[in-house]
Amino acid sequence: MKDSACAYSVTAWAHLVKKKTGYACSECGSYADVQAVHVIPPSMGGRRTLDNGRALCLRCRSQGILPKGRIRFNFSVPESTALVLNEYCADSGRSVNDVAKQLMADYIYGNVATTNGHLFGDRNVRRVAVSVLYTVYELFTSRCAAAGLSPREAMKSLIYCHLRPFSEGKVWR
């Protein structure tokens, strides 16, 4: 069995991932505050293998850029919307990641012209993270900037608008 295919304990995995780069950040080379991070997080099916680990300093980690041109896009939605989103995903057989990527693509290419329905004021929020191609994220953020929206607020609104018919009982597949 290849060493990179082995699953390790958390401590051993973190040590070996950082050791691969000589305990330096794999992006900028800094030795300050280097952490082992998953390329594909466990919540998305990633395992503690050496191929799925990367040594990053806090500054580079906060930028969210992943290898192979992908970025983890984080946003929060109200708890009530998250519950409807999860129900929709279970009913439609799609993942949250697939729904978010489709909404981003629809918004980029003009299939969704409006982002009405922002949900402000709901203090109970759930954080959502999706993995998308960096080029798609750049197109999405530039379209959001042209509309005067932050990408996080635009995504929250797109999800809300997309789920409105489902939450009103107009179920589709």
85 and 139 share a domain? yes
121 and 156 share a domain? yes
149 and 75 share a domain? yes
Question: What is the per-residue pLDDT across 16-54, written as a single tens digit (0 to 9) for each?
Answer: 999 999 999 988 888 988 989 887 777 666 788 888 888
88 and 57 share a domain? no
The pair of three-digit structure tokens given for residue 151, joined into one six-digit string: 């990408």
- In the chain, the number of structural domains is 2
Q: Is residue 173 part of a domain?
A: no
Question: What is the per-residue pLDDT across 108-119, written as a single tens digit (0 to 9) for each?
Answer: 877 765 555 454
Q: Is residue 172 part of a domain?
A: no
User: Domain containing 107: what range?
Assistant: 71-167
- From CA 106, how far away is CA 120, in angstroms rounded? 23
Q: Is residue 16 part of a domain?
A: yes
Q: Is residue 147 part of a domain?
A: yes
> Quick one: CA dihedral 133, 64, 124, 118, positive or negative?
negative
Q: The pTM is what?
A: 0.57
Q: Is residue 112 part of a domain?
A: yes
